[in-house]
Amino acid sequence: MDALRRGSGLLTCLLLSSVISAGIVDAPPAARAAATGVVQPEPLAAATSSAIPRGPSALQRIDAALALREIDMTEADRQRFFYLFDRRRMDPRWRGAADPPAKCGTRLLAGLVADREHLDPEIGSLLEARLSGIEGNGTASYVTAHFRIDYATSHPDAPVPTDVAPQNGIPDFVESTAAACEQAWAVEVGQLGYTAPAIANGQSARYPVTYQAQDSYGYTIVISGQQTKMVLNPSYAGFPLNDDPDGDVVGSLRVTVAHELKHALQRMYSPWTEGDWLELDATWIEDVVFDQVNDYLNFVRGSGSSRVAGSCRASGKSS
């Protein structure tokens, strides 16, 4: 119950943000995706509110162009793919220098997978390469009570290799991932009682986690049926600031693990058909599991409404 109470202020703020999307002010990205089924990225690119971009995001520009029939669905999906994985290849009309990493690539990637037979040949091949890459993306593994973390040791997908605390042959980033995974499991499955994610090969197996270079915090991909896999950014370099006492990189990693594990748990109850609620729910759990990080404030502040951020502060949320 303490965990639920801890997240109640955040849930209220996120619900308020959804209401704002009716047109009073610019809404948070997750609340503006209902018409397209595409998760919008957070609009924070720097630490101070004066630097927060106020214009539409790249995905919003793409969606607007699609709605106006300036581009077709094939071209829209092409730009969405590059938005998630290689922004240098986006059409300059949609690419914004101030666009931050996508908060979550789960729904965006799921949409691309669903549309795969309508993708142009190049994007179809690139998507298949990405999907096959996460299946075999690991030359080393780190196993915990509930997780198996596979990682490359020399590749763009390889996590930060620093190994000093402790110096034991395992990258500190991987060990931080493992600790975050187990903490998220302890709260989401252990304390809150959500059904544990489906795992192949019976009870002796572990939930799969890996890393992939991407312009997103991370995503959860369906392997088969209810079985999923968590795919994390390998460095979080240059990501928005947060309040984690152990640093912004660790904070970004922690909330992403909590967020993506929640997507895996959601899959145990439905095939991800709840629209914006999927992201609302996954963002809420970040603050329940890792209350000190407050990464969600990056996109609440970016909503254009200081009243929303202020009400979060006033509700008793620490920052």
**What are 21-58's pLDDT values in tens digits?**
332 223 333 333 333 343 433 333 333 333 334 467 88
User: Mind listing the pLDDT tens digit for each residue in 285-298?
Assistant: 999 999 999 999 98
Calculate Rg over the CA atoms of the chain.
Answer: 19
Percent of the chain with pLDDT over 90: 65
pLDDT at 162 (0 to 100)? 96
- pLDDT tens for each residue of 54-81: 467 888 899 999 999 999 999 999 999 9
Report the pLDDT value the prediction gives residue 1, as an integer from 0 to 100.
54
> pLDDT by residue (tens digit) across 227-236?
999 999 999 9
Q: What DSSP character marks residue 219?
A: E
How sure is the predictor about 200, in pLDDT bands with cuts at 50, 70 and 90?
Answer: confident
Question: Which two three-digit tokens encode residue 206?
Answer: 């572990």
d(CA 216, CA 207): 21
Angle, helix 306-314 to helix 2-20, in steps of 10 degrees = 160
Q: Are 184 and 147 in contact (CB under 8 A)?
A: no
For the chain, what are the domain ranges? 2-314
User: Residue 209: is its pLDDT beyond 90?
Assistant: yes
**Distance of alpha carbon 27 from alpha carbon 307, whole angstroms:** 12
User: Among the residues of the chain, which ranges form H helices?
Assistant: 2-20, 58-67, 73-85, 106-114, 121-135, 172-185, 248-266, 276-289, 297-301, 306-314
Residue type, 249: V
Looking at residue 204, its pLDDT comes to: 66
Q: What was the pLDDT predicted at 155?
A: 85
Alpha-carbon span 151 to 176, nearest angstrom: 13
Angle between helices 106-114 and 121-135 (to 10 degrees): 120
3-class DSSP state of 79: helix
Q: What is the mean pLDDT of the chain?
A: 81
CA angle, residues 299, 300, 301, in degrees to nearest 5: 90
Which has the closest alpha carbon to 181: 252, 292, 256? 256
Kindly report which listed range (17-26, 121-130, 209-218, 279-288) carries the lowest average pLDDT score: 17-26
pTM, two decimal places: 0.80
Dihedral angle sign, alpha carbons of residues 59, 63, 68, 73: positive
Return the minimum-mean-pLDDT range out of 45-49, 144-148, 156-160, 255-259.
45-49
Q: Which residue has the tokens 């179809």?
A: 124
C-alpha 209 chain-centroid distance: 14
What are the backbone angles phi and psi of residue 50, rounded to the nearest 5°? -65, -20
- Spatial distance between the Cα atoms of 232 and 239, rounded to a whole number of angstroms: 13
Evaluate if residue 184 carries a pLDDT over 70.
yes
Q: Buried b / exposed e across 38-77, counting CB within 10 Å, b at 16+?
A: bbbbbbbbeeeeeebbeebbbbbbbbebbeeeebeeebbb
Model confidence at 222: pLDDT above 70? yes
Neighbouring residues of 238: CB distance < 8 A, sequence distance ≥ 6 = none
CA terminus-to-terminus distance, the chain: 21
**Total length of the chain:** 319
Under 8 Å between Cβ of 209 and 177: yes
CA-nearest of 113, 115, 122, 116 to 220 is 113
